[in-house]
Amino acid sequence: MVAQKFTFEVTLDSDEFVKVEDHLFTTHESLLREEPKIYLIGKGCLRILKEFEDQLTMKSLNEWMLLSRALDQTCGFETAWDDRKILQELVTGRDHPVSWYAHNCKAVS
């Protein structure tokens, strides 16, 4: 069996994706089959990431995803999180324990 590398080109409107380093986050599920560095996200999540697009790194994005899971698991599903505030803390390099985020990043309804 011989491995082959394929290159493809895709055109997306600027409101359909966020590029972080050499990774692409988009709402287009069909692209997931094309490239391992493409990730499916929801439209609400995409809007939030667009606000921080020039400041994001894969490190901060991975921390945000792990932190979101940790907050959901430790604090219950009835609690909503202010992802903008969480991302702001992460992209500015502030280091907090999960408990700080649970106390300070609840979404205001």
Range of weakest confidence among 2-6, 19-23, 45-49: 2-6
pLDDT band of residue 78 (cuts 50, 70, 90) is low
Residue 94 CA to residue 40 CA, distance in Å, equals 27
Structure tokens at 2: 């011989």
What confidence score (pLDDT) does residue 77 get? 62
Where do runs of H (alpha helix) occur along 1-109? 43-51, 58-75, 83-91, 98-104
Residue 43 CB neighbours (<10 A): 9
Gap between the Cα atoms of 5 and 11, Å rounded: 20
Alpha-carbon distance of 21 to 24, in angstroms, equals 8
Q: State the pTM of this model.
A: 0.66
The model's pLDDT over 46-71, given as tens digits with 9 standing for 90+, comes to 999 999 989 999 899 999 988 988 88
| Backbone region of residue 93 per phi and psi (left: phi > 0; alpha: psi in -120 to 50; beta: other values) | left
What angle is formed at CA 56 by the lines to CA 106 and CA 90, rounded to 5 degrees?
Answer: 40
